[in-house]
Amino acid sequence: MSGVDGSGSLTPEPSNGRRRLRRLLGHAIPAGAAIGIFLIWEVGVRTFEVPNYIAPAPSDVGRTLVEQWPLLMRNFWPTFYESIMGFLFGNMAAILIAVAFVHSRTVERAFFPIAVFVNTIPILAIAPILVLIFGAGLTAKVVIAALICFFPTLVNMVRGLQAVSPETLELARILSASKSEVFWKIRLPSSLPFLFSALKIAATTCVIGAIVGEWVGANSGLGALIIDSTFNFRSSLLYATVFLSSGLSVMLFALVTIAEKLVVRW
């Protein structure tokens, strides 16, 4: 197969083998960079004899991941559940409020500044307040995770729902489309790329919210394990817990990316 370049001449399209090679290089380059960083880390720690309680070598962290896997898993599942619940509730609330903002300018002018004000409060400052209100149980951690997801999704969803061109809306009015038809057939599809961009951010920040909630008050979870490992100078376990937390964020980000490819086909 061939195409036409800007000068009008035919240019050959890349073969399947070249596409596979490019795809392979796309995965190999970041993997190689990560391996290089770990090698430098390992050699640096061994060469300069850095104490284990300050910076354990990657091999020590890997050994801890294997040896302490049952402990890590016992604390992984509470954080996973809190993150998922916060992700769902925070984004659902943001989507519903964004729909209300788009359909009522008065509601938007009244409550959008309040949403901005709440978003300016550092999550570490508001987390103790939420724990005092809801207690040290599951509810406070879910609310913290939901709150940290809320604002980016709200802003992007409002932007997406308002991104419809005036010509399209005028055509819909000429065709006597109802408000519900305009929303479901025009506004909602145009907002999906904006929404999924926000959901990718929320997929990582919801884990941060859950961990912050566990820092304030919890007996289990990755956040509680991070605090315990820090105060007991168990650096290898601390690093292993941090890597597991990062892995949870990456997993949720990947799930949202897959959902985007399935939903936003265009």
How many structural domains are present in the chain? Answer: 2
| Residue 15 falls inside a structural domain | yes
3-state SS of 41-102 is HHHHHHHHCCCCCCCCCHHHHHHHHHHCHHHHHHHHHHHHHHHHHHHHHHHHHHHHHHHHHH
> Are 73 and 142 within one domain?
yes
Convert the pLDDT of each residue in 73-131 to its tens digit: 999 999 999 999 999 999 999 999 999 998 888 988 999 999 889 888 888 889 899 98
Could you tell me which residues come within 8 angstroms of residue 88 by beta carbon, excluding any fewer than 6 positions away?
none
* Residue 151 burial by Cβ neighbours in a 10 Å radius (0-12, 13-18, 19+): buried
> Are 68 and 195 within one domain?
yes
DSSP 8-state code for residue 186: I
User: Residue 157 has which token pair?
Assistant: 């969803």
| Residue 53 falls inside a structural domain | no
Convert the pLDDT of each residue in 42-83 to its tens digit: 898 888 888 888 889 899 999 999 999 999 999 999 999 999
| Residue 84 falls inside a structural domain | yes
> Are 73 and 43 within one domain?
no
User: Residue 148 has which token pair?
Assistant: 């940290």
User: Given this model, what pLDDT does residue 76 score?
Assistant: 95
- For residue 136, what are the domain limits? 58-263
What is the rounded distance in angstroms from the CA atom of residue 209 to the CA atom of residue 145? 4
What is the rounded distance in angstroms from the CA atom of residue 25 to the CA atom of residue 227? 39
> Are 38 and 95 within one domain?
no
Please give the model's pTM, rounded to 2 decimal places. 0.85
User: Given this model, what pLDDT does residue 136 score?
Assistant: 81
Q: What is the largest CA-CA distance in the chain?
A: 76
Could you tell me which residues come within 8 angstroms of residue 30 by beta carbon, excluding any fewer than 6 positions away?
none
> Are 176 and 239 within one domain?
yes
Residues in the chain: 266
* Residue 188 burial by Cβ neighbours in a 10 Å radius (0-12, 13-18, 19+): middle
CATH assignment at residue 228: 1.10.3720.10
Closest by CA to 226, choosing from 24, 37, 76, is 76
